[in-house]
Structure 1
Amino acid sequence: MKKILLLIAIVLILAGCSSKHTPDPNEKIESPEFKSYNGDQLRIGLIGEPPTIKEKNLIKFTSLELNQLDSSKYDAIFIMKEYLEQAAEDKYANVYRSTSIPFFFIQSKKSFIPFITKEISYRDADEFKDQTYATGFLQQNKEEYQSWGYGLYNDTVSEINIKDVYSRIFSTIESIKNGKEK
């Protein structure tokens, strides 16, 4: 009987020490103070609706159609969530691999692989194991490319966390534009 009581006590103690924390809906969660992008003005081609950003005076979005992806008038091109499957069609793979500006696939859970690989459709591509809100791709030369993944703070979808992702993307674009990113 003592062994059963001891076992029950241990189970109750361990259950009370669980690392899972259910947040109180009234509890305010503190976010760090995120840096805004404050570099050069950027010209970004946009497939889809423009995102809500903090840096409205520094970022100029221009709406494009998917058949306009190879434009060199832009510092980068964003492809928004609602166009990802279409943007991963085989006919666009060579564009991503031959253009000298970065592409950012917003809210893609599939990385950049289905966009640059003709043999893999967006639907069939594996999903990221980690939480990534946006992924970027730049073909640097015939043999080398660079990619980026941008996650949300604490994997939490919120307006402030999404705006932070865009600010970090803008900093990456500026680094590429100014030749600092290799």
Structure 2
Amino acid sequence: MSRLTIEYGAHERVSEVVDRLTYCAEHISVAFDGWEEPHVKGPGLYFAVVADRGYGAYADAMGDNRWPREDCASVFDEDAFVDAAGTVSVERDGGIVVAVDGEVEEQMVRFRDLGTRSGESMLVDDVSYEPWMGSRHMSAIETSVRPEVVATVTLSEETGRVSVFRDGDATSMRRNEIGGEWRAE
């Protein structure tokens, strides 16, 4: 008898969750017009899509930083989600945990570095850092190789770059590349 398993990385509904996070981060990046200002910190985001609500084994609470669940509990609450993410991106710090069903956890977290739990040292070999990566991106790529994590999505507060990390691989777009031919200048 085989065990019932779901391949979340290829699951249509989970892919839609990751896409919604990516499009939201892209929207916030494009909407912010102060990227070229010296010494200006733009909006920043760090989402992690997890297949296991037991993420406390590799994440710590970020104090009072909370996702406003009373305003938006799901990535499928389209306008409310973009509004909440926009506010969180400039007012709060920490990773935002999103379940594979699109529900957003209230407590924002700091994901622990790889190797802090037994059996994680081999996961470090699956990570390759790029020169453009700051600490948020390095954490996101490390978090993406954890078996419980489907993907991570970041918005760089320094450059507006939006990146998606899956299994230690990065797909990243600089702010001026977001939207491609559909982008109206």
User: Normalised by the size of structure 2, how large is the TM-score?
Assistant: 0.24
Q: Which structure is higher in RCO with an 8 Å CA cutoff and minimum separation 6?
A: 2
Over alpha carbons, which structure has the higher Rg? 1
TM-score of the superposed pair, with normalisation by structure 1: 0.24
